[in-house]
Structure 1
Amino acid sequence: MILQHKTEICVADGRKLLLLVNEGDTKFPDLQVIREEAQELLPDRELSSDRPGRSFQSVGMRRHGYEETDFKQLAEDRFAVEVAEILKKRTLAGKTGRLVVIAPPATLGEMRKHYHKEVADRIVAEIAKEATNLPPDAIAAMVEAA
């Protein structure tokens, strides 16, 4: 894919967001950081206070344990929703033209559920990969290879 001038790139996972814009041209992309956010996730022991609950069958003496809630996954899903909201606000304010979204498959799936129509219309590519720890040059190469 050719990375055009002023194309924005949203690189996200369940903990980090990196918004970039191409200030260069199609031959020599120059990605500049617009926004960078990171979410600190607490250890599981600090997120939950109890053991998972138990269920008793109505007939007999059988009991079942409920599955323990994955608080880290809930926090990552919530962050994906926040990223979709950030993209919505930027788009409705007229700050976003063409948009490329790069995120791991699970995060990308959660974000898709919450895209505003205007955001979805501006997305020119989605790349299902982890790229939050890559430098801008590597991100540009990833987009151009897609």
Structure 2
Amino acid sequence: MKLVHDMIVLVVDGSRMLLLRNQGDEVYPDLRVIEHRQFENLPNRDLLSDAPGVDFSAGYPGRSTFEESDPHQANEDLFIAAAADTLASVAANGQDRLIVAAPPRALGELRRHYTQDVRARLVAEIDKDFTRHTVDEIARLLSVHGEPAGA
């Protein structure tokens, strides 16, 4: 994939986000960090205080438990929504083309939050997790990735 000058790249998962801009050209991409966010999302065992509740319903002879929530996943979804808001603000301020790289589940959550500006500028979505790679490695991985349709 060719990373044209001033292309914006969002690399995100449930707890890390990198927003990058290509200061180089298609031949020699030079990704620079615009924004970086990270938070520690504790596992559910540390977030939940007790076992699921038990219901003693008069209509049934046994007991049933209430469905347990997933606060860890809820925290990841909130983080991804905030990353989508950041991408939307960048898209609203310019004519930049956008690439998004995220694991499949995070990519699905991101899509729920895309604005019209983001959709209009989106060149490619890559369903891979690049968040643990260096910026230079991300540039290399994006360069060897397939050419997007219509570009």
Aligned residues: percent identity? Answer: 42
Give the alignment's TM-score, normalised by structure 1. 0.90
- Separation in 2 of the partners of 1:29 and 1:126? 18
Give the alignment's TM-score, normalised by structure 2. 0.88
Unaligned runs of 5+ in 2: 147-151
Superposition map of 1:66-105 within 5 A: 66-94=66-94, 97-105=96-104
Unaligned runs of 5+ in 1: none
Amino acid at match of 1:134: H
- The answer to whether 1:42 aligns with 2:72 is no
Superposition map of 1:1-146 within 5 A: 1-94=1-94, 97-144=96-143, 145-146=145-146
CA deviation map 1:56-108 (0-9, x unaligned): 444231212123211111100111111111111222233x6001000001111
Count, aligned residues = 145
Deviation, structure 1 residue 128 = 0.5
Amino acid at match of 2:113: H
Deviation, structure 1 residue 47 = 2.3
Deviation, structure 1 residue 122 = 0.7
Amino acid at match of 1:15: S
Q: Partner of 2:149 in structure 1? A: none
Deviation, structure 1 residue 116 = 0.6
- Separation in 2 of the partners of 1:6 and 1:89? 15
Report the aligned-residue RMSD.
1.6
Matched residue of 2:100: which SS?
strand
- Separation in 2 of the partners of 1:46 and 1:133? 24
- Separation in 2 of the partners of 1:53 and 1:43? 20
